[in-house]
Amino acid sequence: MAEENPNVSKHPLVLHKLTLLRREKTEPKKFRELIREISMLLCYEATQDLALAEINVRTPLAVATGYELKEKIGLVPILRAGLGMVNGIWEMLPGAEVWHIGLRRDERTLQPVEYYRKLPVDPTVQVCLVLDPMLATGGSAIAAVNILKKWGARRIKFLGVIGAPEGINALKEAHPDVQIYLAAVDEHLNEAGFIVPGLGDAGDRQFGTG
């Protein structure tokens, strides 16, 4: 059966942790821990279809059939807020490569402005996981996927914590092949481009700025 797009987690741990993340009183240290934990749970859901190769493994008693990941994975955090999603996922996928894309949203136009990009010359992986907690207008996610596709990435997935309907629709329209994984879909965007009810500014809340 085809996966729904977006895939919105129904896992009780995700829903519990997301509630703590939203809470205004949650301080940056706890906020960072929650982003990390939710990211690991989303990673579990987003990696269910990774290809495996069958291999033999010698146990202390006999030879057993085992499996190893066939595909190389790239983690692509969108700076800054996506940074907090890297470490937990990297623990689950220690062989992954990490590439950074720096995008900041112009406060007036809400358009993403690129200020940093660190990718190898040629793509070295089969699957890219784009990481950004907030999918608001979708401009940043679309720009990041554009960069990755132009560079040659084939399979791209987007992992975020909260999505607004506007951003989900825009990303799906621009890149229908990109599967989206979220912890929640919220109501709407306000005039300032913030997701409502959301959790505020995910970058500022992680890094103690703003």
- Rounded Cα gap, residues 161 and 72, in angstroms: 24
Q: Choose, from 22, 104, 105, 155, the residue flagged as catalytic.
A: 105
* 84 contacts ligand PRP (rule: CB under 6 A): no
CA angle 36, 37, 40 (to 5 degrees): 90
Instruction: Decide: residue 44, CB within 10 A, 0-12 exposed, 13-18 middle, 19+ buried.
Output: middle
- Options 77, 140, 158, 159; binder of ligand PRP; rule CB under 6 A: 140
Going residue by residue from 57 to 76, which x/- string records binding to ligand PRP, judged by CB under 6 A?
--------------------
Q: Choose, from 109, 154, 177, 209, the residue flagged as catalytic.
A: 109
Q: Peptide bond preceding 120: is omega within 30 degrees of 0, i.e. cis?
A: no
Clarify whether 105 is annotated catalytic.
Answer: yes
In the three-class reduction of DSSP (H, G, I as helix; E, B as strand; rest coil), residue 70 is classed as: coil
- Rounded Cα gap, residues 63 and 31, in angstroms: 45
Q: Which is nearer to ligand PRP, 46 or 141 (CB)?
A: 141
- Rounded Cα gap, residues 138 and 159, in angstroms: 12
- Options 136, 147, 162, 183; binder of ligand PRP; rule CB under 6 A: 136
* 172 contacts ligand PRP (rule: CB under 6 A): no
Part of the chain binding ligand PRP (CB under 6 A), chosen from 2-10, 11-19, 28-36, 135-143: 135-143
Instruction: Decide: residue 4, CB within 10 A, 0-12 exposed, 13-18 middle, 19+ buried.
Output: exposed
- Options 41, 46, 76, 78; binder of ligand PRP; rule CB under 6 A: 78
- Rounded Cα gap, residues 144 and 78, in angstroms: 7
- Rounded Cα gap, residues 173 and 142, in angstroms: 10
Q: How far is the CB of 82 from ligand PRP (least distance, A)?
A: 7
- Options 46, 167, 175, 186; binder of ligand PRP; rule CB under 6 A: 167
Clarify whether 205 is annotated catalytic.
Answer: no
- Rounded Cα gap, residues 7 and 57, in angstroms: 34
- Closest residue to bound ligand PRP by CB: 203
* 198 contacts ligand PRP (rule: CB under 6 A): no
Residue type, 178: V
Q: How far is the CB of 75 from ligand PRP (least distance, A)?
A: 15
* 186 contacts ligand PRP (rule: CB under 6 A): no
Residues classed as catalytic: 105, 109, 201, 204
